[in-house]
Amino acid sequence: MLRSRIIPCLLIHNKGLVKTVNFKNPKYVGDPINAVKIFNEKEVDELIVLDIDATKENRGPNLKMIKSLANECRMPFCYGGGITTVKQAVKIISLGAEKVALSYSALNNISLCQEIGDIIGNQSVVVVIDVKKKKIFGGYDIYTHNGTKKSNWKLNDFISKLEEIGIGEIVINSIDNDGVMQGYDLPLIENIRGKCSMPITVIGGAGSLQNIKDLINKFKIIGAAAGSLFVFKGKYKAVLISYPNREERKPIY
């Protein structure tokens, strides 16, 4: 039975765990393996790990790092970053990841999503869509390469095509809200939710458990992902890995 999930999202930059604001100025916050160990103890629902260097550096996934993370993880684990071939996706699943996430490669060659899904199962294929509000006329544009390159795809057209293919999940990542910790872009999700039936995970803006509760209350079964909320503590953003315990999660779900 499907249910909502609360998902830490870890960004990997120069092999370290970082957090960004509006996809810029990555701040080092620790070692990814140590973070995974803490999240194991806190019994998180799921984990997303995104290597934000891979596509920008035009290289493939760091298989050694993925193997280390998968060996440590005791929760479902989705990896994204640099995946451009079916072979890479199959290898990542064989190392212990439950899902693979595509972004630029899906926009560049959408048939790759289906090709990967045919081998590992569509339920294991995730597409991360990084969006930014248009400055004029409203709506949203899709960006790649850490928010530096605008795609020619229109957001609704791309989502419709992914639904036609039948991928397992889309992750909607708000560049405008990234690291700001003032809440999710609910109108964005409302627009998307009305046009597709695929499982959706949302990231960008969570600054409190109330923000997560608001998202889940409004959209019911959905993935609520966050970065800053689970790695920073207090107004001065001291680094502290955290996650709500079972009692704190009950009223949210």
We report the CATH number of the domain holding residue 156 as 3.20.20.70
Contact indicator for 15, 231 with CB cutoff of 8 Å: no
Q: Both tokens of residue 242? A: 């955290």
- Dihedral class, residue 82 (left if φ above 0, else alpha if ψ from -120 to 50, else beta): left
Question: How many CB atoms within 10 Å of residue 29?
Answer: 21
Contact indicator for 214, 253 with CB cutoff of 8 Å: no
Question: How many CB atoms within 10 Å of residue 45?
Answer: 18
Length of the chain in terms of residues written: 253
Q: Which amino acid is at 168?
A: G
Separation of alpha carbons 182 and 167, rounded Å: 30
Q: Provide the mean pLDDT of the chain.
A: 95
- At residue 2, the pLDDT reads 75
Helices 63-72 and 32-41 meet at what angle, rounded to 10?
A: 20
**Per-residue pLDDT of the chain in tens (253 residues, 90 and over written 9):** 578 999 999 999 999 999 999 999 999 999 999 999 999 999 999 999 999 999 999 999 999 999 999 999 999 999 999 999 999 999 999 999 999 999 999 999 999 999 999 999 999 999 999 999 998 888 999 999 999 999 999 999 999 999 999 999 999 999 999 999 999 999 999 999 988 999 999 999 999 999 999 999 999 999 999 999 999 998 888 999 999 998 989 888 8
Range of the domain at 14: 5-249
3-class state of residue 253 by DSSP: coil
Separation of alpha carbons 73 and 36, rounded Å: 6
Please give the positions annotated as active site: 130
- At residue 1, the pLDDT reads 54
75-129 confidence digits (pLDDT tens): 999 999 999 999 999 999 999 999 999 999 999 999 999 999 999 999 999 999 9
The total number of structural domains in the chain stands at 1
Q: Both tokens of residue 127? A: 């597409």
- At residue 135, the pLDDT reads 85
- At residue 203, the pLDDT reads 98
